[in-house]
Amino acid sequence: MQFTKPLSTALKTVTTLVLSATLAHSALAADVKLGLAAALTGPAAKYGVAIKNGFTLAADEVNAQGGVNGNKLVLVVADEQGKKEEAINVFKKLIFQDKVLLVFGPTLSNSAFAADPIANASKVVAFGTSNTADGITAMGPFTFRNSVMEADVLPITTKAAVKHFGLKKVAIIYGNDDAFTKSGYDVFKATLAQQNVPVTTTEAYAKGDVDFKAQLTKIKASNPDAIVCSCLTEEAANIILQTRSLGMKQPFIGGNGLNSPKLFEIAKTAGDGTIMGSPWSSENMTPANKAFMAAYKAKFGSDPDQFAAQAYDALHVVAAALKNVKLTANLPADRIALRDALPAVKIDGATGKFAFRKAPAVKGKEVGYDAQQDAIVNIAEGGKFVLLK
């Protein structure tokens, strides 16, 4: 080697080389940042906090076992408050500022319809763990979900409820300004028509309503055998309580939104007899679910719910995909590589056997992936959901 440069310059070159070698090395065994946009405040926090807990538990488990390919998973959590505008802000922060590899969330379908287009435009996976409305994965090829859509769950739930109670006619109540409650309503309406169950009356309410007496009085007058409720948990709990105060004894049939312990914190045993479909049950005694439930209780001091279970499974799905991704520290390429590794993942998790299913085709558009998972039907007894046998 010829020493043509002054010594100080040569030293600088060496230092730079050493530094970049260190950087390249740390890029290989680095932190993998995964964003989580969840409703941690506001009414949807009933779901969002359980979701955050599920993710934290799973990430801690993966990291305790050495991470993924030696990389530590780091969750970057942001509160989207269950609001569309906040979901947009939080997605932008996670994608452009925090530079996460993927974004989990948001909590509500309503917010996903606002925020997921940003992820798709930025070629970053938006992975919903609680979005069950129709059309979520039609938003683009970067939208994935492991939440089972209402369209898959409600026909099974309705059939079981009709048989269990011998229902002849039902009334419907639903929220008409939320993507999830509206989508659940559309599915219930089609399902009831298909199963030849007449609807005595259909009543709607708006987000934030707390008094449902006007709608319930009409439902009472129509004398249904049961009430179908496409509602989020807090509204459902208040509707159930007000139904009882009007002297109505009908059982309820609901979707995914009802599957929260919060329903019973408010409605107590007034909710008994409610039938609801879900991929997850605390009575599902598979080794994976037993381990999940015990670990959750040990860490958070309370029992998990469906939303915690789906979040927990989603982290394990992404960890499984990451095992097959060679991270390069080229963020846009890594984001796409992770997207391409996801569809093949299959796991046996807290919610049972899980696989992805390509979303129904939309003309002229690329679509994402839905959950391929069986739903089970639960009934509320003594203030909690148990398997309907």
Residues in contact with ligand 1QQ, counted by CB under 6 A, come to a total of: 12
Range in contact with ligand 1QQ (rule: CB under 6 A) among 104-112, 113-121, 208-216, 381-389: 104-112
β-sheet bridge partners, residue 354? 347
Is the Cβ–Cβ distance between 101 and 335 less than 8 Å? Answer: yes
Q: Which is nearer to ligand 1QQ, 254 or 352 (CB)?
A: 254
Nearest alpha-carbon partner for 136 in 153, 123, 148, 154: 148
Is the Cβ–Cβ distance between 216 and 238 less than 8 Å? Answer: no
Q: Is 180 in the site for ligand 1QQ (CB under 6 A)?
A: yes
| Backbone torsions φ then ψ of 364, nearest 5 degrees | 75, 15
DSSP 359: P
What Å distances lie between residue 267 and 4, 7, 236, 359, CA to CA? 83, 78, 9, 36
Q: Is 306 in the site for ligand 1QQ (CB under 6 A)?
A: no
Range in contact with ligand 1QQ (rule: CB under 6 A) among 107-115, 236-244, 344-352, 378-386: 107-115
Q: Is 132 in the site for ligand 1QQ (CB under 6 A)?
A: yes
Range in contact with ligand 1QQ (rule: CB under 6 A) among 64-72, 92-100, 114-122, 129-137: 129-137
Task: Kindly tell me which residue out of 56, 109, 158, 274 binds ligand 1QQ, with binding defined by CB under 6 A.
Answer: 109
Task: Kindly tell me which residue out of 71, 130, 137, 242 binds ligand 1QQ, with binding defined by CB under 6 A.
Answer: 130
Binding string, residues 207-246; x marks residues near ligand 1QQ by CB under 6 A: -------------------------x--------------
Q: Is 256 in the site for ligand 1QQ (CB under 6 A)?
A: yes
From CA 330, how far away is CA 82, in angstroms rounded?
A: 32
- Least separation in angstroms between CB 87 and ligand 1QQ: 11
Task: Kindly tell me which residue out of 88, 95, 102, 108 binds ligand 1QQ, with binding defined by CB under 6 A.
Answer: 108
Long-range contact set of residues 113-117: C-beta below 8 Å, sequence gap at least 24: 113/84, 113/139, 113/179, 114/84, 114/85, 114/87, 114/88, 115/37, 115/80, 115/84, 115/87, 115/88, 115/90, 115/91, 116/91, 116/140, 116/142, 116/143
From CA 288, how far away is CA 61, in angstroms rounded?
A: 13
Is the Cβ–Cβ distance between 307 and 282 less than 8 Å? Answer: no
Range in contact with ligand 1QQ (rule: CB under 6 A) among 106-114, 213-221, 313-321, 348-356: 106-114
Token digits of residue 268: 């107590």
Range in contact with ligand 1QQ (rule: CB under 6 A) among 3-11, 125-133, 166-174, 239-247: 125-133
Instruction: Name the site residues for ligand 1QQ (rule: CB under 6 A).
Output: 47, 107-109, 130-133, 180, 232, 256-257
